[in-house]
Structure 1
Amino acid sequence: MKKIRFGLSPCPNDTFMFYGLLKAGIGSHKYSFYPVISDIEDLNRHALEGRLDITKVSIHVCALVLKDYALLRSGAALGRGCGPLIVTRKEFVDRPLEELTIAVPGRHTTAALLLGLYNKKAFERAIEMPFHQIMPAIKKGKLQAGVIIHEGRFVYHLFGLQKIEDLGQWWEDRTGLPLPLGGIIGRRDLGHECLLEVEEMIRESILLARRWPSGLEGFIRAHAQEMDPSVIRKHIDTYVNEYSLELGPEGTKAIKRLFEEAALEGIIPETPKEVFLH
């Protein structure tokens, strides 16, 4: 039986999608999946160091590791109405963004890449901070603005913050395409057959989760950082969709467009040529 180190974040969309692989025995006749559950920027670093066999990463970092990894066509976080938000306190709403002290949830996150496309000067001045610390830091006056991800889009108003820009909507308005946020990459040295099999197993896992089997809710809540149940459901409904089952032509086009724009701005070294399995 082949052992696979499988990286995922503790966010509800990931624990929802991959429950079947990790807890319900999908693929267990051939593979043994060892979960590495960590913050997305930690997973990004693991991928840059080549430490995981298959892992969730930000689409941003995917572009940097394609010599050793390929992007799978299932398990992605991609869609409409799901992008990072730039938020601040009321007194800074009308200030130029590049003049504010702004945080991103990791230099290699897609949120940081989008900030670079939206406002290069703000991106160059941005500091890194774990995503769950950004909103409290703005509220306490330690920061003036931040790019928030995950469930932050549902709860930022609870911190008394206001939205400067929805970077997902900004992307959609400019391109007409859904926004690629994260994806599943697999080491090319696992072999073409293995990666295609895991790609299909992820689809099976998502379809299983949609039936909400016994044990799924407990698994999600165990990693959801005391998140309110209604926020958990909003999170899953927002980030798990048909693109998670299959990127399809539109999803593929969106990822390639994001890479092209990032390369033109110098955020990634070049536009990757071999992104997916062939």
Structure 2
Amino acid sequence: MNIAFSPCPNDTFVFHAWAHGLIIGAPELNITYADIDITNGLAASGKGPDILKISYAALPWALEEYALIPCGGALGRGCGPLVLTAGEQAAPGAGPNAAQPDPAQLSGKRVAVPSERSTAYLLFRLWAAQAVPGGVGEIVVLPFDQIMPAVRDGEVDAGLVIHEARFTYPAYGLKLMRDLGSWWEEDTGLPIPLGAIIARRSLDLEAIATWTRQSVQYAWAHPDASRQYVMSHAQEMSPEVTEAHINLYVNRYTESLGEDGYAAITALLSRAAREGLVPEVPSDLLR
């Protein structure tokens, strides 16, 4: 069975057991490791592999050929993308947020993002519609590992970052303008839908969900078993950052979306559709 997911620690941790033949009855996996922007494009084309890890923001373009698998993905609390800047000016009267740069500074400015079909980008656009008078200017798409250097070097005015950048941005001398995960949770009370597992509708979706869930459960039960595999794909992350990454993105929603998870997905995609950022998704296609 062909599958594509990122080399990030949460994905390799989740799929380690299945990838290494440790799930009884599960077919052998032929794995392609690819950045989320690539897998989003594969899903939208309808010509991707049997199973994919994509952004929830790309789901509306994939649902004709692919179904959402209710486990294996990334939702959570306290794990949202960050808006970073090199600026120092604080918002007047900002109170407890006085140390944070004023979002109004982004009006008409250049902002680097990792993808225009990512949950991070949808959250950024929904937040900016409320917080940035007149809206931002140019959106520049960069690989996520190039965004912080671009902000630091003044090539862009701000950057939207994901993944382990949550833990490493102070090393670049950058400041947090807004944690979009916190903003989303304050605004909706729901977890943040980040990455989805999808599979071709022609396949046995119930079996795929079972194998995926068993792989998650094996990873939790044997945390040391996947360590070498995870670190071999961790893109020079330290063991401490890798562990923090897994702890943040692999949680109860990875084992089962549950009602909160489905509510979060519906809220994100319906809000984004109202803003014209994604096509509308019929609710019956999500389950």
- Structure 1 length normalisation: TM-score? 0.92
Amino acid of the residue matched to residue 31 of structure 2? Answer: P
Amino acid of the residue matched to residue 45 of structure 1? Answer: G
1:199 to 209, 214, 230: 209
Residues 115-194 of structure 1: matches in 2 within 5 Å? Answer: 115-120=124-129, 122=135, 125-190=138-203, 194=204
1:43 paired to 2:52: no
Taking the aligned partners of 1:26 and 1:122, their CA distance within structure 2 comes to: 49
Contact 1:116 1:124 in 2 (8 A): no
Residue 121 of structure 2 aligns to a residue whose secondary structure is: helix
Between 1:229-238 and 1:83-92, the stretch displaced more is: 83-92
Pair 124,186 (structure 1): closer, same or farther in 2 beyond 3 Å: farther
1:63 paired to 2:73: no
Residues 56-95 of structure 1: matches in 2 within 5 Å? Answer: 56-91=53-88, 93-94=101-102, 95=104
Deviations along 1:82-119, one digit per CA (max 9) or x if unpaired, are 00000010346335223321111011111111111111
1:248 paired to 2:258: yes
Q: Which runs of 5+ in 1 are unaligned?
A: none
Partner of 1:259: 269
Shift of residue 213, structure 1, vs aligned partner: 5.6
C-alpha RMSD of matched pairs (Å): 1.6
Amino acid of the residue matched to residue 214 of structure 2? Answer: E
Residue 108 of structure 1 aligns to a residue whose secondary structure is: coil
Q: Which runs of 5+ in 2 are unaligned?
A: 90-100
Taking the aligned partners of 1:183 and 1:30, their CA distance within structure 2 comes to: 20
Contact 2:26 2:211 in 1 (8 A): no
Residue 63 of structure 1 aligns to a residue whose secondary structure is: helix
1:209 to 212, 219, 222: 219
Pair 74,255 (structure 1): closer, same or farther in 2 beyond 3 Å: same
2:284 to 257, 267, 274: 274
Between 1:267-276 and 1:230-239, the stretch displaced more is: 267-276
Contact 2:110 2:136 in 1 (8 A): no
Taking the aligned partners of 1:169 and 1:5, their CA distance within structure 2 comes to: 36
Taking the aligned partners of 2:67 and 2:3, their CA distance within structure 1 comes to: 14
Deviations along 1:43-73, one digit per CA (max 9) or x if unpaired, are 1111111212111000000122111111110
1:222 paired to 2:232: yes
Residue 197 of structure 2 aligns to a residue whose secondary structure is: strand
Pair 214,230 (structure 1): closer, same or farther in 2 beyond 3 Å: closer
Contact 1:102 1:145 in 2 (8 A): yes
Contact 1:98 1:125 in 2 (8 A): no
Taking the aligned partners of 1:189 and 1:122, their CA distance within structure 2 comes to: 42
Residue 70 of structure 2 aligns to a residue whose secondary structure is: coil
Contact 1:16 1:216 in 2 (8 A): yes
Taking the aligned partners of 1:68 and 1:124, their CA distance within structure 2 comes to: 34
Q: Which runs of 4+ in 1 moved over 6 A?
A: none
Shift of residue 271, structure 1, vs aligned partner: 3.2
Pair 112,213 (structure 1): closer, same or farther in 2 beyond 3 Å: closer
Pair 122,111 (structure 1): closer, same or farther in 2 beyond 3 Å: farther
Amino acid of the residue matched to residue 76 of structure 1? Answer: G
Deviations along 1:184-206, one digit per CA (max 9) or x if unpaired, are 0111122xxx1111111111111
Partner of 2:94: none
Between 1:118-127 and 1:45-54, the stretch displaced more is: 118-127
Between the aligned residues of both structures, percent identity stands at 41
Shift of residue 212, structure 1, vs aligned partner: 3.1
Taking the aligned partners of 1:135 and 1:223, their CA distance within structure 2 comes to: 21
